[in-house]
């Protein structure tokens, strides 16, 4: 049977019951505190009395039907199920959990972290993480695996990539003793690879993406293989192995179309757009970005990234009409992202090119020198610092302001050196 002290505490706090109210006539207040904090083990009579007062049933015999329902709900938290169905199933299970302590109690509580993440309720996810933290030492290997993985999911979406990686690596350490299924391990490897990619750890990104893909191939999960190919494409592009990068992007596109997987096709188009943008093939970059924008349900951040690259490409080729079209599209997309962390960055990009298109070099300089470049320095966004510092320096040079131009060429060069060191 599971360690029960912390579970009693969870039920008590959920019911807003004080320790005094729960312990009265059953045990002393100090002894209840020790039970709840796993510092003392109570006999079965005391545990039963505490459960009776909480109005919950202590179940020692596993209910296979209920456990199957729990496991089906856990699986829904990975696949693309309708959110309303996930919520409905959760509420049904929670009604049972509110009335009992059983073999799924801890696992259900741990999966709530993932549930809140799917609903993008990060406040509740963090509250659940903190609530479970003090009982984590009593988890078995299976509990520890999912506990650490879901924390990794949380920190990943909060863009705390180092913290996320640490949690994922803890999950990796216990996965063998927890007897985790191969496809679940592949998903963990893929998650680790993504964090290494965010942290610009190129070799580790490739290593874990290839390990993940090997598992997905064994299960004939070609959609997940395609996702790995995209990640490998990004990694090889960063280390300037462009032929290998292009091969991976094209393989991702092939698998996406083979399985009619819209999201994979989107990502392949957008990454091919960036690939051709950075390798100087403006025609193919524009072609892929525009195809990416035509796909359905495109995330606003990805949409803005594609739009801003198209703005730059059309502006550079003196196609003012198309530049204006995409500036308007960018402004419309920004209206839906006011509360997003990336809003400020794309707002600066749109302002920069709006001033350039209007020939307003005074405000162009003010936006870049006083706002955008300091913002990029603060974010340590060295790739963008190189690009926008050079953009400003080039126009200052054209204006005859050579001393100021040199200042921003220097910023660009210093930023490039930092990229190389990373």
Closest CA to 253 of 226, 233, 277, 283: 226
What's the pLDDT score for residue 421?
64
* Cα 319 from Cα 164, distance rounded (Å): 43
Find out whether 113 and 129 touch, Cβ atoms under 8 Å: yes
Instruction: Please tell me the predicted confidence (pLDDT) of residue 1.
Output: 44
- Residues 346 and 208: their CA atoms lie apart, in Å, by 31
From residue 61, give the alpha-carbon distance in Å to each of 57, 101, 102, 104: 12, 11, 8, 12
Tokens 């309720």 sit at which residue? Answer: 121
pTM of the model: 0.83
The strand pairing partners of 101, in sequence order, are: 58
Closest CA to 27 of 12, 16, 14, 15: 12
Residues of the chain with pLDDT under 70: 1-3, 60-62, 79-80, 421-422
Q: Read off the tokens for 402.
A: 């050579």
Task: Answer whether 330's CB lies under 8 Å from 308's CB.
Answer: yes
Give the other-Cβ count within 10 Å of 53's Cβ: 18
Cβ–Cβ under 8 Å, residues 355 and 392: no
What are the tokens at 336? 């839906």
Long-range contacts made by residues 366-370, C-beta under 8 angstroms, separation at least 24? 368/392, 369/408
Sequence-ordered list of residues with C-beta below 8 angstroms from that of 171, at least 6 positions apart, any chain? 144, 145, 146, 148, 149, 152, 188
H or E stretch at 100 = strand 100-101
Q: What integer pLDDT is reported at residue 149 of this predicted model? A: 97
Burial of residue 312 (number of CB atoms within 10 Å: 0-12, 13-18, 19+): buried
Please compute Rg for the chain using Cα positions: 27
Q: Are 5 and 36 in contact (CB under 8 A)?
A: yes
Give dist(CA 294, CA 211) in Å, integer: 33
Instruction: Supply 251's token pair.
Output: 């393989």
Distance CA 313, CA 282 (A): 7
Q: What sign has the CA pseudo-torsion 111, 115, 117, 122? A: negative
| Residue 180 · residue 141 · CB < 8 Å | no
Eight-class DSSP state of 368: I
Instruction: Identify whether the C-beta of residue 203 lies closer than 8 Å to the C-beta of residue 195.
Output: no
Residue 231 · residue 205 · CB < 8 Å: yes
d(C-alpha 227, C-alpha 247), whole Å: 14
Q: Residue 101 in 3-state DSSP?
A: strand
- CA atoms of 68 and 115, how far apart (whole Å): 18
Instruction: Please list the residues that pair with 57 across neighbouring strands.
Output: 100
What value, to the nearest 5°, has the Cα angle with vertex 199 and ends 157 and 121? 5
User: What is the β-pairing status of strands 100-101 and 57-58?
Assistant: parallel
Q: Where are the alpha helices (DSSP H) in 119-177?
A: 122-133, 141-157, 161-174
Q: At what angle do helices 382-398 and 343-357 cross, to 10 degrees?
A: 20
């Amino acid at each position: 049977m599971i360690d029960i002290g912390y579970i009693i505490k969870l039920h008590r706090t959920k019911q807003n019951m004080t320790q005094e109210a729960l312990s009265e006539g059953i045990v002393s207040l100090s002894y209840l505190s020790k039970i709840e904090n796993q510092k003392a083990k109570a006999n079965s009579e005391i545990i039963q009395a505490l459960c009776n007062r909480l109005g919950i049933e202590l179940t020692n015999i596993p209910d296979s039907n209920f456990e199957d329902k729990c496991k089906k709900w856990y699986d829904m938290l990975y696949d693309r199920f309708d959110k309303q169905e996930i919520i409905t199933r959760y509420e049904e299970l929670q009604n049972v959990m509110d009335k009992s302590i059983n073999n799924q109690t801890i696992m259900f509580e741990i999966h709530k972290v993932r549930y809140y993440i799917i609903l993008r309720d990060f406040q509740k996810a963090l509250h659940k993480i903190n609530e479970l933290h003090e009982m984590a030492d009593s988890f078995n290997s299976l509990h520890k695996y999912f506990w650490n993985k879901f924390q990794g999911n949380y920190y990943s979406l909060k863009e705390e990539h180092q913290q996320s990686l640490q949690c994922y690596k803890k999950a990796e350490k216990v996965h063998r003793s927890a007897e985790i299924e191969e496809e679940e391990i592949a998903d963990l490897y893929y998650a680790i690879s993504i964090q290494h990619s965010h942290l610009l750890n190129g070799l580790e990104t490739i290593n874990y993406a290839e390990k993940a893909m090997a598992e997905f191939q064994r299960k004939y999960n070609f959609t997940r293989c395609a996702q790995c190919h995209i990640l490998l494409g990004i990694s090889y592009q960063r280390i300037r192995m462009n032929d290998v990068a292009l091969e991976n992007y094209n393989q991702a596109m092939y698998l996406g179309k083979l399985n009619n997987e819209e999201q994979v096709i989107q990502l392949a188009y957008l990454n091919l757009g960036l690939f051709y943008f950075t390798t100087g093939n403006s025609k193919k970059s524009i072609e892929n970005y525009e195809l990416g924008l035509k796909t359905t349900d495109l995330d606003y951040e990805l949409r803005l990234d594609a739009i801003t690259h198209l703005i730059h490409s059309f502006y550079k080729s003196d196609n003012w009409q198309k530049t204006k079209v995409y500036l308007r599209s960018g402004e419309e997309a920004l209206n839906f992202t006011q509360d997003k962390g990336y809003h400020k960055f794309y707002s600066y990009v749109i302002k920069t090119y709006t001033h350039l298109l209007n020939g307003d070099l005074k405000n162009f300089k003010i936006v870049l020198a006083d706002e955008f470049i300091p913002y990029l320095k603060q974010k340590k966004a060295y790739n963008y610092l190189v690009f926008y510092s050079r953009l400003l320096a080039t126009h200052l040079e054209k204006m005859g302001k050579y001393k100021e131009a040199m200042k921003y060429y220097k910023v660009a060069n210093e930023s490039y050196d930092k990229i190389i060191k990373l």
